[in-house]
């Protein structure tokens, strides 16, 4: 990300920053948490975007032109504008690694810094994490539906602007896609790119057969032909088979065919039969066209013969839920070096925030399968040699007890930046994808199925539960 | 847009470009059209994104690093890669000005260039136009619902990446929003920015009253207070009124209040009464929180007292339809300098393309209200001194006849680039917004209403209709 995104924020962040500056609070340390709320379409999410958040934080700098612009708004104190000249992000970042499976309410990232810095960065951090986590999650669902079939990300032309295509491709790979059509993403992220030809290629030759022959001549070892420009069954597939035979005579095995329209269940069953009978049982069938996890599931259930899924619009926009709704909430302030937890109440119980400086633990069984998560206060100790009971009425009354030797506990949140500096090198995208794969594999299918998945328990630790209860009671009685 | 987006394309564009290069077709001139298809949620669109398309086309250039990357894919001929070194966009662009009201099937942009260039640019052009037109259209609907009330764009944190927020803010302004919270967009596009403070501001003071007082002290002439942090009716509004009175004593008239949660109909009616009774009938009420054109309409119908609408997630993502689905279709090729129209057939009648080099005309009545559109071939002449009948069975059998003196006809498409050079300076965003406003005003409300709008007739000219019919018949009989 080579652009200066320092002004990519909401105006009210700057008015509040100026306000805190003038109120003498500029050095007040605060903690803000990013988390997602419960949503009927989201049972779990796959985190993504941390690398871009770090890039953003490292590159924060108000240019002279930015400061001139802000001055022209006639809102800001001149000492505050002067202060912005040397502004840098000097805070701490705690976050789950990209590719982590996360549940509603769990802080996926926390910022600890002075209030001025914490306020500025809210909007861009939410923008980046909301977007990439949304698309990684959607990709995870699509790949889950494909049950091991390759899923290719094809959505650039329908993405909401260049970044949505570019970072959406990255997030899709984290979510489980095996390649993207997006060449810039391929180059920048070292991701496999895929694509062959469009209908216009076929239309630009006198006949479909000539178009296919030309393609096979140019790419003899990558012959994947789009067969639905004119008439899939009567022209496209027969012409493809003709060319496949010619390829084989020249010593090249064809890759397969792609269908982009029509009834994909019917057409791919017919196509499979035609290819098999012509002697090409290994030719792959790639399908595209308005696919998402639901249509893929339906096609699978219908016995459609599809090996490779090209998924575009509905993945790159997360069409059924195009925003994740992650929020950034104040959870503590420091006074004289001491943490003062903060809570935001609401008529709506699920909107009540979790106070304090927190982390998240995941409890696994001895086979390494995830059992439940605990949102806890920093400093609480969990000893695997002791029994662990989690039983707070957070979402359900489900009580879980883990005996020593039957469980392992792992902290999901790591320290990413300290005093504005990266603590450890960030993983590569390949490493993130591999980690995300293991993360997803550590959850039973019952938690991941699309239709009414099993409830995964996320509880509060004893310490956090008591703190929250006491704070609510105090406000209730005190006001 | 200061980034090099040359590789922001689908891989198949490059494989086809390499293919055309090797087939000796690199100088073949072609015409591709961008248009949107019929969609139940889109009756009309407001075009946006042309400026970014032009920027993109002007800056196309493969860097050495791009070419090295492509070389490493082992797909491309070395002469082709050499050819890319000097690649520039040298074609022509014909397009409707940004802010034009457009209907399905109408070419909003056409590219005429050699096939290599035309192929490369498809993906990015679609990406840019699809996104911005989508958001401008959504904004137009939201503003239509607000019936003259100000609509502020607040969506950056939920946008699909930085560009979606940045260009989404731009498109929202074209669609009719009066300002954005996005400071970078405000600076870059010269747009009004707005925003005051968040819940965290209130939470970071010992009491709500102290938070409000601090805000009023710092921004005495811009006191708009968020009143729903704790208890809107029992605490937020009374505290705001206390501070408003203090402001007035100091000679400043307060701006108003903002509500971001709760039942906005009930709360704003109560708020209006409380403000009026306290002597602040001019204090504005701003509402935000999951607003879109439907909720705004409902709130209006319920008599909610809202002057300013802050619209976020559902606008910036076009939540009910997050992709416009614009396509880029080959409509003609040149052979020996002569235009050979091309058509793409489909089982689905609405997917059959319109062949040839085209433009679009709009027919107005003498009051300047739009009556119908005609998609026509370039070179067809329409003489306002003669009667005009449009009656082709494109979508309905509706026949319209316009007598001389009762109608005016205007060509919507202009020449934007010739031989890769801009023909005229592009309008400013303020000019575009003003034009878009006039465009929308030239349509009866019946075409713009959200619930089952009137059908707006878009017909084919006689020339285009005959050409299309003949081409379909020829293919039908010839195959």
Instruction: Indicate which CATH number applies to the domain containing A260.
Output: 3.20.20.70
- Give the whole-angstrom CA distance, residue B23 versus residue B29: 14
Mean pLDDT across the stretch A111-118?
98
- B327 and B370 assigned to the same domain: yes
| Boundary of a domain, candidates A288, A317, A343 | A288
CA-derived radius of gyration, chain A: 26
Indicate whether A333 belongs to any domain: no
Task: Please give the tally of structural domains in chain A.
Answer: 2
User: Are B156 and A8 within 8 A, CB to CB?
Assistant: yes
- B266 and B159 assigned to the same domain: yes
User: Are B322 and A322 within 8 A, CB to CB?
Assistant: yes
Nearest CA of chain B to the CA of A409: how many Å? Answer: 33
A122 interaction partners in chain B (CB closer than 8 Å)? 157
Indicate whether A224 belongs to any domain: yes
- B157 and B261 assigned to the same domain: yes
Asked if residue B479 has pLDDT above 60, the reply is: no
- Give the whole-angstrom CA distance, residue A237 versus residue A247: 15
Q: Does B413 touch chain A (CB under 8 A)?
A: no
B14 interaction partners in chain A (CB closer than 8 Å)? 183, 195
| Boundary of a domain, candidates A262, A288, A314 | A288
Indicate whether A450 belongs to any domain: yes
Q: How confident is the model at residue B251 (pLDDT cuts 50, 70, 90)?
A: very high
- B290 and B166 assigned to the same domain: yes
**B420 in Cβ contact with B91 (< 8 Å):** yes
User: Are B201 and A19 within 8 A, CB to CB?
Assistant: yes
User: Are A10 and B186 within 8 A, CB to CB?
Assistant: no
Mean pLDDT across the stretch A371-399?
87
Nearest to B39 by CA among A199, A262, A290, A260: A290
Tell me the longest C-alpha to C-alpha distance in chain A.
86
Indicate whether A283 belongs to any domain: yes
Indicate whether B5 belongs to any domain: no
- B227 and B329 assigned to the same domain: no
- B87 and B175 assigned to the same domain: no
| Tens digit of each residue's pLDDT (9 = 90 or more) over B126-180 | 999 999 999 999 999 999 999 999 999 999 999 999 999 999 999 999 999 999 9
Residue in A with minimal Cα distance to B221: A75
**B10 in Cβ contact with A194 (< 8 Å):** no
- A274 and A393 assigned to the same domain: no
Indicate whether B1 belongs to any domain: no
Reported residue count of chain A is: 479
Bridge partners for A402 per DSSP: A388
Q: If DSSP codes are grouped into helix, strand and coil, which group holds residue B418?
A: strand
Residue B227 in tokens? 């009143």
Supply the ipTM of this predicted assembly: 0.96
A204 interaction partners in chain B (CB closer than 8 Å)? 20, 25, 28, 30, 115, 330, 333
Whole-number average pLDDT of chain A = 95
What is the pLDDT, as a whole number, of residue B1?
44
| Tens digit of each residue's pLDDT (9 = 90 or more) over A234-265 | 999 999 999 999 999 999 999 999 999 999 99
Residue in A with minimal Cα distance to B2: A3
From the list A154, A161, A324, the residue facing B161 with the nearest CB is A161
Reported residue count of chain B is: 479
Q: Phi-psi category of B452—alpha, beta or left, where left has phi over 0 and alpha has psi -120 to 50?
A: left
Query: What is the span of the domain harbouring residue A204?
Result: 196-288
Asked if residue A321 has pLDDT above 60, the reply is: yes
Nearest CA of chain B to the CA of A408: how many Å? Answer: 36
A407-411 sheet: strands from edge to edge: A407-411, A358-365, A370-377, A457-460
Query: How large a percentage of chain B has pLDDT more than 90?
Result: 90
Mean pLDDT across the stretch B112-135?
98
Q: Which of A73-77, A81-85, B349-353 is predicted least confidently?
A: B349-353
Where do runs of H (alpha helix) occur along B59-182?
Answer: 64-72, 78-85, 115-146, 162-175
**B162 in Cβ contact with A128 (< 8 Å):** yes
Query: What is the domain-level CATH number for residue B388?
Result: 3.20.140.10
Helix (H) or strand (E) holding B318: none
From the list A186, A197, A322, the residue facing B12 with the nearest CB is A197
What is the pLDDT, as a whole number, of residue B394?
62
CA-derived radius of gyration, chain B: 26
Asked if residue A1 has pLDDT above 50, the reply is: no
Q: Which of B7-16, B317-326, B439-448, B449-458 is predicted least confidently?
A: B449-458
Indicate whether B35 belongs to any domain: yes
From the list A135, A161, A222, the residue facing B127 with the nearest CB is A161
- B169 and B60 assigned to the same domain: no
Q: Does B270 touch chain A (CB under 8 A)?
A: no
Q: Does A452 touch chain B (CB under 8 A)?
A: no
Nearest to A363 by CA among A349, A382, A345: A382
User: Are A214 and B262 within 8 A, CB to CB?
Assistant: no
What is the pLDDT, as a whole number, of residue A393?
66
Residue in A with minimal Cα distance to B67: A187
What is the pLDDT, as a whole number, of residue A95?
98
User: Are B201 and A11 within 8 A, CB to CB?
Assistant: no
CA-to-CA dists, residue B344 to A204, A228, A231, B330, B341, angstroms: 11, 11, 12, 8, 10
CA-to-CA dists, residue B373 to B98, B175, B360, B410, B456, angstroms: 17, 21, 7, 9, 8
The helix-helix angle for A293-301 and A115-146 (nearest 10°) equals: 10
- B166 and B310 assigned to the same domain: yes
Q: Does A39 touch chain B (CB under 8 A)?
A: no
- Give the whole-angstrom CA distance, residue B313 versus residue A323: 7
What is the pLDDT, as a whole number, of residue A348?
75
- B206 and B305 assigned to the same domain: yes
Q: How confident is the model at residue B460 (pLDDT cuts 50, 70, 90)?
A: very high
What is the pLDDT, as a whole number, of residue B396?
65
The helix-helix angle for B64-72 and B78-85 (nearest 10°) equals: 160
A81 interaction partners in chain B (CB closer than 8 Å)? none
A123 interaction partners in chain B (CB closer than 8 Å)? 156-157
- Give the whole-angstrom CA distance, residue A305 versus residue A289: 15
- A272 and A363 assigned to the same domain: no
pTM of the model: 0.97
The full DSSP string for B206-220 is: SSHHHHHHHHHHHST
| Boundary of a domain, candidates A288, A305, A328 | A288
Indicate whether B4 belongs to any domain: no
Residue A242 burial (C-beta neighbours within 10 Å; 0-12, 13-18, 19+)? middle
- B453 and B347 assigned to the same domain: yes
Where do runs of H (alpha helix) occur along B376-451?
Answer: 429-441, 445-448
């Amino acid at each position: 990300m080579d652009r200066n995104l320092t002004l990519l924020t909401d105006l009210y962040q700057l008015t509040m920053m100026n306000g805190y500056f003038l109120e003498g609070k500029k050095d007040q340390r605060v903690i803000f948490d990013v988390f997602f709320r419960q949503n009927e379409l989201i049972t779990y999410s796959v985190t993504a975007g941390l690398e871009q958040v770090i890039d953003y934080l490292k590159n924060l700098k108000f240019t002279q032109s930015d400061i001139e612009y802000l001055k022209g708004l006639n809102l800001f104190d001149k000492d505050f504008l002067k202060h912005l000249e040397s502004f840098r992000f000097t805070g701490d970042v705690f976050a789950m690694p990209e590719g982590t499976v996360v549940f509603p309410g769990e802080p996926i990232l926390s910022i600890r810094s002075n209030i001025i810095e914490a306020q500025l960065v809210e909007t861009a951090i939410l923008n980046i994490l909301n977007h990439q986590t949304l698309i990684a999650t959607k990709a995870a669902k699509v790949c889950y539906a494909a049950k091991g079939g390759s899923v290719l990300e094809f959505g650039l032309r329908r993405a909401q602007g260049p970044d949505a295509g570019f970072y959406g491709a990255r997030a899709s790979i984290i979510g489980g896609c095996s390649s993207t059509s997006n060449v810039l993403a391929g180059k920048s992220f070292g991701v496999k790119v895929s694509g062959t030809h469009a209908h216009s290629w076929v239309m630009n030759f006198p006949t479909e057969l000539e178009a296919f022959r030309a393609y096979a001549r140019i790419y003899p070892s990558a012959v994947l032909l789009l067969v639905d420009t004119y008439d899939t069954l009567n022209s496209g597939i027969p012409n493809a088979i003709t060319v496949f035979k010619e390829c084989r005579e020249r010593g090249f095995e064809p890759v397969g065919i792609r269908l982009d329209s029509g009834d994909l269940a019917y057409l791919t069953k017919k196509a499979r039969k035609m290819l098999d009978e012509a002697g090409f049982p290994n030719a792959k069938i790639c399908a595209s066209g308005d696919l998402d996890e639901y249509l893929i599931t339906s096609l699978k259930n219908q016995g459609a013969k599809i090996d490779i899924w090209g998924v575009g619009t509905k993945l790159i926009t997360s069409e059924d839920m195009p925003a994740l709704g992650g929020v950034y909430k104040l959870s503590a302030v420091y006074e004289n070096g001491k943490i003062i937890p903060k809570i935001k109440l609401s008529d709506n119980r699920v909107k009540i925030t979790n106070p304090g400086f927190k982390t998240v633990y995941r409890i696994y069984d001895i086979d390494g399968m995830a059992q439940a998560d605990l949102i806890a206060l920093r400093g609480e100790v969990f000893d695997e040699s002791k029994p662990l009971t989690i039983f707070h009425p957070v979402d359900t009354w489900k009580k879980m007890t883990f005996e020593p030797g039957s469980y392992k506990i792992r902290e999901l949140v790591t320290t990413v930046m300290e005093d504005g500096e990266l603590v450890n090198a960030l993983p590569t995208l390949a490493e993130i994808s591999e980690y995300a794969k293991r993360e997803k594999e550590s959850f039973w299918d019952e938690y991941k199925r699309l239709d009414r998945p099993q409830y995964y328990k996320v509880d509060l630790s004893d310490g956090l539960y008591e703190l929250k209860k006491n704070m609510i009671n105090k406000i209730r009685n005190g006001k």
